[in-house]
């Protein structure tokens, strides 16, 4: 069952219990935006040249996988992470499973897979999650397993933390 | 010792032996480009607001980690992957180790960690690599472990492959 997070300014480590599933919202990529991103960052013809892509294995233009994950990030920033949060140490796994085409509506959800209070820095915890991006048919087009450090609620800190 | 790949149009699976290290070149990100990318794709103040970032833990603006990996991609496309190649199934690990600041010169290198001919599709192989992005002090600021399917040389195919 989907759970609801507090507003971004009030999110803390305690709001991310293992097993919680959060709806992250939806997004889409226009052909123009796909072309602009790919020509700068991922110049492969399947992403940059509609005519060449039409002759390729996908029969048309597909988004750079890096564009899909970049365009997902505003949903994660607004609908998952605390405002003014800490940096992420990284991603454990990123998978591109199906092509993403112009103007497809993609929706995303995040499931908390681990939530561990830091021993060395008890003002924060490490949250691991599994994020899925689904197409209109409900099929996963991309998944990833990010890690995020998230501050604990001030009232949960022991004296001296 | 660094090895040299053939030109992009001539690269094949056989050119990626385990242990080969390839120099991928260098890149940098201007403050303007960092702000433009982050305002669209990673709207967190450490990436979007120089004044706020100056008060934060890094004492100044830092690049979105997604921007660093996106800006690395042209080097991978031009200096590592074959031209007109196959899609990547994903990344096994992505780590952001140190902040990236405007106009830092970053250089990248890739080491082949696994090269396995596909059994189900013997016209290609799976190449796993370890890519490091180093700052001017030679410290790794980002690492990742991508997977790429790469076509075999036509003359290496058995009849019927």
For residue B82, the chain A residue with the least C-alpha distance is A44
What value of ipTM does the predicted structure carry?
0.94
Beta strands in chain B (DSSP E): 2-3, 21-27, 90-96, 106-117, 124-134, 140-151
Which residue of A77, A90, A95 is in closest CB contact with B44? Answer: A77
The pLDDT assigned to A1 comes to 59
Q: What DSSP assignment string belongs to A16-73?
A: --TT-EEEEEEE---HHHHHHHHHHH---HHHH-HHHHHTSTTSS----HHHHHHHHH
pTM, 2 dp: 0.94
Euclidean distance between CA atoms B140 and B126, whole angstroms? 25
Interface of B with A in 53-72 (CB under 8 A): 62, 64-66, 69-71
Q: Decide if B88 touches A, using CB distance below 8 A.
A: yes
Euclidean distance between CA atoms A3 and B25, whole angstroms? 45
Residue B103 pLDDT class (50, 70, 90 cuts) = very high
> Which residues are within 8 A (CB) of A80 and not within 5 positions of it... i.e. 6 or more apart?
A5, A22, A24, A110, A129
Neighboring chain B residues of A33 at a CB cutoff of 8 Å: none
Helix, strand, coil share of chain B (percent; to 5) = 30, 30, 40
The predicted model gives B16-40 an average pLDDT of 98
Handedness of CA A48, A49, A52, A55 (dihedral sign): positive
Which residue of A41, A81, A93 is in closest CB contact with B71? Answer: A41
CA angle, residues A72, A74, A75, in degrees to nearest 5: 70
Handedness of CA A37, A39, A40, A44 (dihedral sign): positive
> Which residues are within 8 A (CB) of A84 and not within 5 positions of it... i.e. 6 or more apart?
A9, B44, B45
The CB density around residue A156, as the number of other CB atoms within 10 Å, is: 14
Q: Are strands A2-3 and A21-27 parallel, antiparallel or unpaired?
A: parallel
The pLDDT assigned to A143 comes to 98
Contact: B41, A65; criterion CB under 8 Å: no
Tens of pLDDT along chain A (161 residues) come to 578 899 999 999 999 999 999 999 999 999 999 999 999 999 999 999 999 999 999 999 999 999 999 999 999 999 999 998 888 999 999 999 999 999 999 999 999 999 999 999 999 999 999 999 999 999 999 999 999 999 999 877 666 55
How far is the alpha carbon of A71 from chain B, nearest alpha carbon, in Å?
6
Residue B154 pLDDT class (50, 70, 90 cuts) = confident
The pLDDT assigned to B2 comes to 75
The pLDDT assigned to B85 comes to 84
For residue B89, the chain A residue with the least C-alpha distance is A96
Q: Tokens 């690599």 label which residue?
A: B129
Q: Tokens 């008060």 label which residue?
A: B55
pLDDT digits over B37-65, tens only?
Answer: 999 999 999 999 999 999 999 999 999 99
How far is the alpha carbon of A32 from chain B, nearest alpha carbon, in Å?
15
Q: Decide if B84 touches A, using CB distance below 8 A.
A: yes
The yes-or-no verdict on residue B157 having pLDDT over 60 is yes
Contact: B69, A66; criterion CB under 8 Å: yes
The yes-or-no verdict on residue B161 having pLDDT over 60 is no
The pLDDT assigned to B159 comes to 63
The pLDDT assigned to B55 comes to 94
How far is the alpha carbon of A156 from chain B, nearest alpha carbon, in Å?
23
Alpha helices in B42-133 (DSSP H): 45-48, 50-55, 65-79
Mutate to test the interface with A, among B42, B44, B75 (most CBs of A within 10 A): B44
How far is the alpha carbon of B134 from chain A, nearest alpha carbon, in Å?
16
């Amino acid at each position: 069952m989907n759970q609801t997070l507090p507003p971004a300014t009030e999110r803390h480590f305690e709001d991310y219990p293992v097993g919680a599933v959060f709806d992250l919202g939806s997004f889409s990529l226009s052909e123009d935006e796909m072309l602009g991103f790919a020509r700068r960052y991922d110049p492969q013809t399947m992403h940059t040249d509609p005519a060449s892509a039409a002759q390729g294995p996908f029969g048309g233009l597909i988004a750079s996988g890096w564009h899909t994950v970049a365009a997902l990030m505003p949903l994660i920033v607004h609908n998952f992470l605390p405002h003014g949060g800490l940096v992420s140490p990284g991603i454990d796994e990123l998978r591109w499973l199906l092509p993403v085409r112009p103007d497809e509506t993609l929706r995303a959800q995040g499931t908390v897979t681990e939530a561990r209070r830091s021993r060395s820095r008890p003002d924060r915890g490490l949250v691991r999650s599994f994020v899925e991006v689904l197409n209109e048919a409900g099929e996963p087009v991309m998944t990833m397993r990010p890690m995020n450090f998230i501050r604990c609620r001030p009232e949960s800190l022991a004296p001296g933390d």
